[in-house]
Amino acid sequence: MPTGVIINSLAIFLGGIVGGFWGKIFPDRLKTELNNIFGVCSMGMGIVSVILMKNMPAVIMAIVVGTGLGILLNFGQGINRAGLTMQKGVAKLLPNASSNLSQDEFLINLLTVIVLFCASGTGIYGSLDSGISGDATILISKSVLDFFTAAIFASTLGLVVSLIAIPQFIIFTALFLLAKVIIPLTTPAMIADFKACGGFLMIATGFRIIKVKMFPTADMIPAMILVMPLSWLWTNFIVPLL
């Protein structure tokens, strides 16, 4: 049973509900300062993951090529359209639940949250680890941060944040179920490089949260698919030639 996945999805859903309904009573300073803290936490988690990297050229290649593919395939725009569709659905059900942000600002913030919740290296690896070992510690730890992050973002974005729990649950459950197939095909170096690649996404997401640099984090997601095959190729074919 994917206990960790369920807990993580509930944390996002409940955090979004709390922020969507009662976020207006949060002081503006609390929202701003906690956003900065979330950004620092995201970058800190990313740095810890990047340190695990075993094959730097393979990870860098995965990020560059994966981001290029994401941009060419309009990956980020597709996520934007999905986010707007969710927001319109919420607005129809709850007319007073619309965000006061401009559409551009709304999309920038929503995209940041979607990537943070659904595509972080911590969450993806946590789902795989939970599926193979039954240990949900990583996902439960992530849930604590996700609850408060969802509440703060929902205070400005609205109840649409709670709906991110749905695609997150689908993605993480699929990874949980596929873990017994994926993990035996990997090596410790591949897993370490995968975590490192996710770490780069977490660092980029942290910069977006604190609004220092709007990295194309959604377009970087394909790198997570490429990194393990590239890591294997580098270890088995390139390193012996060096």
The pLDDT of residue 122:
75
Structure token pair of residue 13: 């859903």
Mean pLDDT within 141-162: 90
Identify the CA nearest to 38 among candidates 100, 140, 112.
112
Which pLDDT band holds residue 88 (cuts at 50, 70, 90)? confident
Distance between CA atoms of 193 and 212, rounded to whole angstroms? 26
Identify the residue with better confidence: 70 or 124.
70
Helix, strand, coil % in the chain, rounded to nearest 5: 85, 0, 15
The CA-based angle 192-193-197, given to 5 degrees, is 120
Identify the CA nearest to 234 among candidates 70, 51, 62.
62
Q: Over the stretch 36-62, which tens digit does the pLDDT of each residue have?
A: 998 898 899 889 889 999 999 999 999
Please report, for residues 84, 88, 204, the alpha-carbon distance to residue 93 in angstroms, rounded to integers and kept in the order given: 14, 9, 34
Residue 90 pLDDT greater than 70, yes or no:
no
Q: What are phi and psi of 186, to 5 degrees?
A: -105, 170
Q: Over the stretch 166-189, which tens digit does the pLDDT of each residue have?
A: 999 999 999 999 988 888 889 999
Distance between CA atoms of 209 and 185, rounded to whole angstroms? 35
The pLDDT of residue 113:
87
Distance between CA atoms of 218 and 67, rounded to whole angstroms? 9
